[in-house]
Amino acid sequence: MVKEEAGASVNVLQETPSMRNLEDLITGKHSLPLWIVRPIINDKLSCECILDPGAQIVVMRKDVWIALGHPRDSKVFILMESANNSKNQTLGLLKDVKFTFGPVSLYLQVQVVDSTLFEVLLGCPFFSLLNSLLEDTPDGEVQITLTNPNTGKSVTIPTMERVISRKIPEEREHLGKKDF
């Protein structure tokens, strides 16, 4: 409801019997951590994979790809646009990369990038292929149920909070942590 007095408008929260105080309202948190899973990739390597249903592709950092030794098709690449409007070209496509989550294995098409702050990002193709179900709780915990489309096998796995140790850049050490 908007009240107007002498040319000024004021927004007023309409109260309901169950919401007398703003302190009683359940509200969204200003930030939540990224959630990760740690599958076995190509029966060779376990690494941190960020769950991001908003990303259009599955992405792997170059050093992880090198450790896997999986063949890359450099002729199949895409131009990625980041949230800050920067654009980068991927280094190519890894076809049919095996990801194993307990009893569920699947094969994904993965784009390789030169440098990122993550090892692997699991985007829309991952969630779509597995008919996945993310279950969020009010305290911010997340678990994911994955179903293999070829076998019908399902597994529910917990996710882990992504923890990043942040080192203060030398030129900012004198400022203290609260300044940035």
State which residues form the domain around 50: 33-128
Q: Is residue 152 part of a domain?
A: no
As a whole number of angstroms, the distance between CA 180 and CA 165 comes to: 15
Apex 26 CA angle, 25 and 32, nearest 5: 145
What CATH number is attached to the domain comprising 61? 2.40.70.10
Q: Is residue 1 part of a domain?
A: no
Q: Is residue 94 part of a domain?
A: yes
Apex 99 CA angle, 95 and 100, nearest 5: 155
Report the number of distinct structural domains present in the chain: 1
Per-residue confidence at 180, pLDDT binned at 50, 70, 90? very low
Pair of tokens at residue 106: 């699947």
> What separation in angstroms does the CA of 172 have from each of 34, 82, 148, 166, 177?
26, 26, 48, 13, 9
Q: Is residue 147 part of a domain?
A: no
Averaged pLDDT of the chain:
80
Predicted TM-score of the model (pTM)? 0.73
Q: Is residue 157 part of a domain?
A: no
Say whether pLDDT at 18 is over 60.
Answer: no
Sign of CA dihedral 20, 21, 23, 28: positive
Q: Is residue 165 part of a domain?
A: no
Q: Is residue 73 part of a domain?
A: yes
Q: Is residue 15 part of a domain?
A: no
pLDDT digits (tens, 9 = 90+) for 135-156: 877 776 788 899 999 999 999 9
